[in-house]
Each structure stands twice: as structure tokens, then as C-alpha cells.
Amino acid sequence: MTVAERAADKGRNQRRKATSVVMLSVTGLATALAVVPLVWILAYVTREGGRFLTPEFFTSMPTPVGVQGGGVANAIVGSAILVGLASLFAIPPGLLAALYASRRPNSPLGLALRFGTDVLSGVPSIVVGIFAYTLIVLPQRHFSALAGGLALAVIMLPTVIRSTEEMLKLVPRDLREASLALGAPEWKTAAKVILPAAIDGVITGIMLGVARVAGEAAPLMLTSFGNSYLSTSIGEPIAALPHTIFVYAIAPYKDWHDKAWTTALVLIALVLALNVSARLIMSWRKRRLGGR
Amino acid sequence: MTRSVVAAAFERTPAWRRRTNRALAHGDRPFWGIVLAAAVLVLLIAGAIGFELWANSAQARSAFGWAFLWTATWDPVTGEFGALPFIVGTLITSLLALLLAVPLSLGIAIFLSELAPEWLRAPLSFLVELLAAVPSVVYGLWGLYVLVPMVVQPVARVLHAALGFLPFFEGPVYGPSRLAASVILAIMITPTISAVSRDVFRAIPRGQREASLALGATQWETIWQVLVPYGLSGILGAVILGLGRALGETMAVTMVIGNNLDLSASLLHPGYTMSSIIVNEFTEAIYDLYLSALIEIGLALFLLTLVLNLIARLLVWNVGRRGPREARA
């Protein structure tokens, strides 16, 4: 190697090292950049929404344009009913299907189930809204909380199945085998050994599912439609928090925009609290069971 | 002694109960029946969605045929319906969102899997994933009143001033626009793409990195020339998964895209997407053909996301299956 060649080599190596450092810093910047919208949204919603957040906001009904005060009690009750209906429809079949998926993952039905769960989780929520509309609203000829609950249940189902299945798989095989060896039938083993062993994981899965559907507005536009009065009937149109945000946000009134921010603060606090606690439980559980 | 207790219990049980217990496998047979029914129910729901969309769009399908997909007229008054403006709008916004989100997400995935110190990994991943938990309608609200006026519109003005001669940046500059929708979409799909590609990177065997570094490659060369090609199909899967999310996203897009049947190529003009026409006009569709046409758009959206998800799952699945086998070899 001549001196000139060695010098050229050294220069090239320095360039390579510099490229590496620059590109690696760029990936760090990208990560920082991705956190910006999250912080910005949280800060803005808290600032704008916090100004009008009073106890009255939770307990009183909406007021007409220009009238001070008022709240979103109807939407809070409505969201609770809708999410409750969705949980009622989605959790029992979700748990059982997850049980099947964790016991027979490679049987034909097990593979089909995984495929079906993937398909369901990929269906846009607006399309699920059309589905619930054709199934319930169209035959009945009126919007209802029931149709909204059904739409949310379909959206919730894959989340519940996936996370429950993952948690059931973490339960040590020995537990199941010990129970069967003692002569307990499968159903008793599932109900009294496997589910209790995975119960915190199952609950976190349900919490994530609830958080996911509590923020859905699109399918509700076609199914539960919204209601400016307090309704607790599942056969009637019903209000919901995300739907209320949409209606207030696109209206041309300043005081409604303020209410949209406050409602958004309530909704985002609920959804993030569910997510954060679910993930904390999940990581704690994985450390406990997954470390074997 | 023990035996006699068991025998006594056995003899105390009436013969008919012993028979039914045996026939039902001590409750396991009905139990498996119920579990099986739940598994089948999930498949039935997936099938029923497709069936309902197909059946309820029959009128529009027979009235317009395949031409529905490339007809640009959407006129409820005369009863002429074509989905072209919405299909174009959905494709433009989703693809532009990908263009913005993919480099960013790849950077995040690389940082989280290769560079971040152990103690920073979990909290950062968590923050990025929280971005996916923010409800769509809150993105819309923030987009409409904060992001669009403060960021997108100034950028659009600059783009128009600099590149206004191109049809993509034709004026006048509006606030709510295809560009605004794409930016919001990019933010919304970044957590999906980065989380899946991070998992893809983590599934790549250590040996690949060590071999490359041992040959004298820098860390960036290892990532770019070894890891990225190795995980390419998985990364592609992540991108397609993100595209699937972008195509179906409704509320946030509807709030910032301006909902206008503009057919120009300009990204700075308001537009319309398949999901936003459905959510805007569904409850106003006063006659059957109108409703049927909207449901057909839903059907197209369903099939599009179905196919994309299938491709994505196959691609991601491949890396997962290849990883452990090669690691063993």
C-alpha cells in the first residue's frame, strides 16, 4: 500500500464513520419527533379543555348555543351504556375464542380463527358501522344504542381475543397438566386454574379493548346517531363522548369549540388512564411469568 | 383405605349420572361445544360483514356495474353515482401519508431496537404506542384548530410559492386540504409501522449483526446493508399494515380534508375520501340507490383493506418464521 493509498483509505473510513454517526443521530431525532405530537396534543387539550372543566360539566345537560355552563352528562351516560353493551357482547365470546386459540393454535379452525381475528382487526371502523347499520338499523328503521353497542363489540372482539390469547399462552403448561392429572375435567381446569392464573392479563386485555372502542366515533355516526337529551334506553338513539366532540368541533360556534376541547380532555384522560394502567399491569405480569 | 373411599363414592353415584357423566366427558363435551361455537362465531362475523356489504350494495352494483369505480360524477339529485373522486382522494392521502411516515417510522424502529439504551427502550416504545391510543376524533379536533393553521397552512404557502408551477402545488392555498389529511394520517400510522418494524428488527438473529461488525462495517452500514435487507419483507408488511390503517381512517380525515369534490391534482386543495363520504352522507341518503352506492364504497374499502392486511400478515409472518430457524442453524 502506498502512502497516497493509505491516506485515501483513511479518508474513506472517516467518511464512513461520520455517515454512521450522522444517520444514527437522525434515527434518534426521528424518535424525538414522533413524541412531539403526543406531547403537543396532551398539552393543548389540557390547556384548552381545562379552562371549562368544572364538576358541573360532568353532571349537567348540554345547553343551547350562547348559553353559559352546561355539560355532557348525556354523553357520559351514553358512552358508558355503549361501551357496556359492547363489553357484554364481545367479552364472553372473546374469552372463549381465545381459549380455543391458545389450546389448538395449529388446528385448521385455530388457523382460521387467527386469520378471522386478523381480518376483523383490519376492517375499518366505518365499515363495521355500515355492518351494524344493515343488521339492526335498517330492519328496525331507526337508530339505536343497541346497534352502536354491536358495532363497538365487533371492533372490540379482536383486541380481546388477541391479548387474552397472549396472556393464556404465558400460563405455565405444568399448571394445566397438574390439574388434569388430578382428574379435573377440562372446563374446570380452564375456569378454576388457567383463567385465574391469567386473570390480570385478561383484565388488561379487556381494558385495552374498552379504551379502543371508547374513542370510536365513526361507527356511532351510522348507528347510535347521537342524542341531545339523556337517554338510557337501548332502543333509542344515544349520545357518546367522541360523537359529541365531533359535533361540537365542526359547529361554527366559539363556545361549542370550547366544549369540544373540554369533552376531548375528559375522553383522552379516560382512554390514556386505561392504556397506561393496562400496560403497566401487562409489563409487570410478563416480567413475573415470562422470565421462566 | 383410599380405594374403598373412592369405591364408596363411585357406588353412591346413581347409575344414570355415571352414564351421563361419561357420555358428556364430565362436562367437557358441552364445554368444548361452547368454545368451538365462540371460535366459529368470530369467523361468522368476519364473513357476515362481507356478506352484508355485498347484499346491501346490490342495487348500486347492478345499476352502475364496474364503471362505478371510475365514474367521476357524484350527484344525488340526478341519481348518478361514481366513486372515482373518493378512491382518488383515499389513495392520494394514504400514499402521501406513507411517504411521510415510513422514513420516520423506520428511524424510530432502528433507534428503539438497535441504539436506545436498555432503560430508555420501554418508556420510549410506550410513548410512541400511546400515539396510537389517542382517539381519532381528538386528532381531528387538534388537526383542525392547531396543526392545520399553525403548521400545514404555512408549509402549504411555502410549497405553493416555490413549486406552484407543478399541478400538485396549484393554488389557491386552503387550510383544510389533502396535504392536511395526509399529515394527520402520517402521525396516526407512525406508531403502527414503527412498532411492527421494531419487532421485525428484534427478531433478526444477533449473529447477523456480529458478523457484519466483525467484518469492519460501521453500525449504520450494519443496519442499512445487513439488517434492513434481512427484514425487508417484514418491514414491507409493517408499511402495508400502516397503509391499511390509513385507508380506513375516518374521523380525523373528515375533519381536516375539507370534504370537497375537487378533482384537481393539487395536494393543497380540499378533497374527499371513501370513508369521509360515507360518514358525511350516510344518514342523509334518502333513497335506496343513494344508500346502496354508499354501501358499495364501503364494500370497496372493505375488500381493499382485506387484501392489504392479508399481504401484510403473510410478509410479517415470514420473517417471524425465518428468524428462529436460521438462528438454530
Report the C-alpha gap between B199 and B297 in whole angstroms: 34
- Determine contact, residues B272/B86, Cβ cutoff 8 Å: yes
Residue B60: its pLDDT value, please?
94
Q: Is the pLDDT at B327 greater than 70, yes or no?
A: no
The pLDDT confidence band at residue B323, using thresholds 50, 70 and 90, is very low
- Determine contact, residues B174/B152, Cβ cutoff 8 Å: no
Which B residues in the span 61-120 are in contact with A, Cβ-Cβ below 8 Å?
103-108, 110-112, 115-116
Q: 3-class DSSP state for residue A130?
A: helix
- Whether cis (ω within 30° of 0) applies to the bond prior to B167 is no
In tens, the pLDDT along A242-292 reads 999 999 999 999 889 999 999 999 999 999 999 999 888 877 877 766 544
Residue B69: its pLDDT value, please?
93
Residue that wins the pLDDT comparison between B23 and A169: A169
Residue A1: its pLDDT value, please?
67
Average confidence (pLDDT) over B293-303: 96
Q: 3-class DSSP state for residue A238?
A: strand
Interface test with B, best of A31, A161, A258 (most B CBs within 10 A): A31
Report the C-alpha gap between A83 and A214 in whole angstroms: 6
Q: Is the pLDDT at B329 greater than 50, yes or no?
A: no
Report the C-alpha gap between B297 and A31 in whole angstroms: 36
Helices (H), chain A: 3-50, 55-59, 73-103, 108-122, 125-132, 138-140, 145-170, 173-181, 186-189, 195-197, 199-214, 218-223, 241-250, 254-290
The pLDDT confidence band at residue B168, using thresholds 50, 70 and 90, is confident
Which value does ipTM take for this structure?
0.92
Residue that wins the pLDDT comparison between B315 and B149: B149
Q: Residues B15-22: contacts with CB within 8 Å, 24+ apart?
A: none
3-state secondary structure labels for all residues of chain B: CHHHHHHHHHHHCCHHHHHHHHHCCCCHHHHHHHHHHHHHHHHHHHHHHHHHHHHHCHHHHHHHHHHHHHCCCEECCCCEECCHHHHHHHHHHHHHHHHHHHHHHHHHHHHHHHHCCHHHHHHHHHHHHHCCCCCHHHHHHHHHHHHHHHHHHHHHHHHHHHHCCCHHHCCCCCCCCHHHHHHHHHHHHHHHHHHHHHHHHHHCCHHHHHHHHHCCCCHHHHHHHHHHHHCHHHHHHHHHHHHHHHHHCCHHHHHHCCCCCCCCCCCCCCCCCHHHHHHHHHHHCCCHHHHHHHHHHHHHHHHHHHHHHHHHHHHHHHHHHHHHHHHHC
Could you tell me the pTM of the whole model? 0.92
Task: Kindly give the parts of chain A with pLDDT less than 50.
Answer: 291-292
- Determine contact, residues A72/A241, Cβ cutoff 8 Å: yes
Residue B319: its pLDDT value, please?
62
Residues of A in contact with B25 (CB under 8 A): 185
The pLDDT confidence band at residue B3, using thresholds 50, 70 and 90, is low
Task: Determine contact: B128 vs chain A, CB below 8 A.
Answer: yes
Residues of B in contact with A272 (CB under 8 A): 130, 133-134
Residue of B nearest to A150 (CA): B45
Nearest in space to B313 (alpha carbons), one of A95, A116, A100? A116
Average confidence (pLDDT) over B53-66: 95
Residues of A in contact with B314 (CB under 8 A): none
Q: Is the pLDDT at B240 greater than 50, yes or no?
A: yes
Nearest Cβ partner of A275 from B48, B133, B250? B133
Which B residues in the span 21-60 are in contact with A, Cβ-Cβ below 8 Å?
25-28, 31-32, 34-43, 45-46, 48-49, 52-53, 55-56
Residue B27: its pLDDT value, please?
80
Instruction: Give B161→chain A minimum CA distance, Å.
Output: 26
Nearest in space to B177 (alpha carbons), one of B219, B144, B213? B144
The mean of the pLDDT values for chain B is 90
Residues of A in contact with B313 (CB under 8 A): 118
Q: Residue A12 has which C-alpha cell?
A: 474513506
Report the C-alpha gap between B201 and B113 in whole angstroms: 6
Provide CB contacts within 8 A for A273, sequence distance 6+: none
Residue that wins the pLDDT comparison between B317 and B57: B57
Average confidence (pLDDT) over B180-197: 95
The pLDDT confidence band at residue B328, using thresholds 50, 70 and 90, is very low
Task: Determine contact: B275 vs chain A, CB below 8 A.
Answer: yes
A126 and B275 in contact by Cβ < 8 A?
yes
Residue that wins the pLDDT comparison between B12 and A92: A92
Average confidence (pLDDT) over B305-322: 78
Beta bridge partners of A238: A225
